[in-house]
């Protein structure tokens, strides 16, 4: 079965440090790829997406992710963490193109220390 793996259920960084959240998918067929963020007691908000074209995609709040087909990865990064980045982050894939249902990773909870 197709799956999404997020390495590390909990990541802690200091304010100003690099944020790196890892995501790998299982299929050799490149899916559409998404990162969503969920703040406490809120719904999911789209951070960024990759469908086709440029493999480095930029999203909101200074986040970016790079699609690497050879590694079946779509890791999320931000050069400098801010306290407001503390949230849970979900990587998701769609194999049905623009209308497919999403398969989610288990999520990574990001903590930011002052």
Beta carbon of residue 114, minimum distance to other proteins (angstroms, whole number): 28
How far is Cα 23 from Cα 105, in angstroms, rounded to an integer? Answer: 8
Q: Which is nearer to other proteins, 28 or 101 (CB)?
A: 101
Q: Which is nearer to other proteins, 30 or 107 (CB)?
A: 107
H or E stretch at 64? strand 64-68
Name residue 63's beta-bridge partners: none
Q: Which residues bind other proteins (CB under 8 A)?
A: 32, 34, 36, 42-46, 49, 51, 90, 92, 94, 97-99, 101-107
Beta carbon of residue 45, minimum distance to other proteins (angstroms, whole number): 8
Beta carbon of residue 10, minimum distance to other proteins (angstroms, whole number): 14
CA angle 60, 94, 6 (to 5 degrees): 65
Residue with tokens 């259920």: 9
CB 21 within 8 A of CB 37: no
Q: Which is nearer to other proteins, 32 or 81 (CB)?
A: 32
Beta carbon of residue 6, minimum distance to other proteins (angstroms, whole number): 10
SS3 84: helix
């Amino acid at each position: 079965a197709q799956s999404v793996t997020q390495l590390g259920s909990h990541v802690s960084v200091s304010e100003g440090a690099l944020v790196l959240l890892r995501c790998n998918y299982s299929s050799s067929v490149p899916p559409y790829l998404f990162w969503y963020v969920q703040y406490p007691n809120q719904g999911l908000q789209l951070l960024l997406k990759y469908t086709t074209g440029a493999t480095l995609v930029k999203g909101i709040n200074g986040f970016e992710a790079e699609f690497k087909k050879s590694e079946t990865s779509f890791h999320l990064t931000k050069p400098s963490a801010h306290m407001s980045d503390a949230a849970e982050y979900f990587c998701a894939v769609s194999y049905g193109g623009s209308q497919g249902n999403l398969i989610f990773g288990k999520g990574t909870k990001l903590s930011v220390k002052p």
